[in-house]
Amino acid sequence: MAGDMVGYAVVGLGVGKNHARGAARAKRCRLVAVCDINRELADQVAAELNTEAIYDFDQLLERKDVDCVSIATPSGMHADMIIKAAQAGKRVVRETARY
Q: Say which CATH number the domain at 21 has.
A: 3.40.50.720
Tens digit of pLDDT for each residue in 38-47?
999 999 999 9
Task: Determine, yes or no, domain membership for 60.
Answer: yes
pLDDT tier at 34 (50, 70, 90 boundaries)?
very high
* Residue 49 CB neighbours (<10 A): 19
Domain that holds residue 13: 6-94
Task: Determine, yes or no, domain membership for 99.
Answer: no
Task: Determine, yes or no, domain membership for 1.
Answer: no
pLDDT tier at 18 (50, 70, 90 boundaries)?
very high
Task: Determine, yes or no, domain membership for 26.
Answer: yes
* Percent of the chain at pLDDT exceeding 90: 84
pLDDT tier at 98 (50, 70, 90 boundaries)?
low
| Contact in structure between 69 and 93 (CB atoms under 8 Å) | yes
Task: Determine, yes or no, domain membership for 15.
Answer: yes
Task: Determine, yes or no, domain membership for 48.
Answer: yes
Task: Determine, yes or no, domain membership for 33.
Answer: yes
Task: Determine, yes or no, domain membership for 22.
Answer: yes
